[in-house]
Structure 1
């Protein structure tokens, strides 16, 4: 369909899930093409669509964009989710990149043979390094930057839900973050995205891991 956003990725969360979240909050409908075979990936390479041989790939506004942060920033800029000035934007980017660092640790869990030690590391870092930052700022304001919703808020919502999937009571000592999560859930787009039948992906399973490794022709992940 002409003009419609198309996402090329696996049928799972990974690095595309934040993009799905942001598009949803921005009110942008999108289609998805799921990578299931190595041949699909090789065709994207041969067509010159993957600048650094990586996905996510997003077709939007006549462009084929790669690199998650670049894609998120473009969507945020276009849909007024990136602050009102340069100072807002740099704060939003700092929060967003910190959240992405934490979420990427969670994303790697399905590929680790024995994730117990990594889970302990994630929980410790979340409680000591990341959540206190957001607990403090949300004690002073409703949104993280500029008094209005931004990309950083959307990523914080996604991240807190991911954390609670692994550590049910992790927000027990972070009341401001938990209250923020509750407020965000009331937005119609977010409420719908969290409900049945949405394009939000479930936690990765063995099939997702097998598909990723097949598409990239990886016999064994180097950190297994």
Structure 2
């Protein structure tokens, strides 16, 4: 029996959360080794495990993989979440890259000060509702299928679903003008592996608490 992947990161969302989501969507169990202090991160660096001195790092199939996109690409390919051919993969990559741009805006927002958050939330929500979500509403309309690409579940669906949930945390009615995205969200939430990851007690992470942010930032100073 193959060893479970081991995820090395802080016990927060950050750049590891899309990786957690993709593994969970694939039905893959994984372990986590949390970086709790600056010393923990320093040790990983000194041991030579971090090619570019950065986490996330994922141990999988005998490799110690770094760089979020490379890790996501590998998992998607390994677990058949990357389309049936190169054309589908190109579409998936296009949608995923756009979503990661929005995802990073939201992720960075979590680590802003309270004053900065007051200034930055409106622009982020504006980009979500006027730049990103209309694209995926149109994709779903034009494609006319249950999933974004082809006839089967892919990493593009996973990343869109994750991003929709995060956006709703900041504005619960953000999908009010996007009926196809609402239907998409309902469909994806009923996929068994996704449904399991949504349950309390899963390895899904919540928003970092404001009081924890400074301690988290000290690890990466």
TM-score (norm 1): 0.93
| 8 Å CA contact retained: 1:12, 1:208 | no
| 8 Å CA contact retained: 1:10, 1:208 | no
Q: C-alpha deviations, 1:79-109, integer Å up to 9, x for none? A: 1000011111111011011111101101111
In 1, Cα distance between equivalents of 2:30 and 2:160: 22
Matches within 5 A, 1:73-222: 73-113=73-113, 114-139=116-141, 140-217=144-221
In 2, Cα distance between equivalents of 1:22 and 1:98: 17
Point out the more displaced range, 111-120 or 140-149. Answer: 111-120
Q: Which has more helix, going by share of residues?
A: 2
| 8 Å CA contact retained: 1:92, 1:151 | yes
- What is the total number of aligned residue pairs between the two structures? 217
| 8 Å CA contact retained: 1:99, 1:155 | yes
User: How many Å apart are 1:122 and its aligned residue?
Assistant: 0.8
In 2, Cα distance between equivalents of 1:149 and 1:110: 29
SS of 2:72 mapped into structure 1? helix
Moved over 3 A (4+): none
User: How many Å apart are 1:207 and its aligned residue?
Assistant: 4.8
TM-score (norm 2): 0.95
| 8 Å CA contact retained: 2:110, 2:207 | no
Segments of structure 1 that go 5 or more residues without pairing to the other structure are: 218-224
| 8 Å CA contact retained: 1:6, 1:58 | yes
**CA pair 175-90 structure 1, distance change in 2 beyond 3 A:** same
SS of 1:59 mapped into structure 2? strand
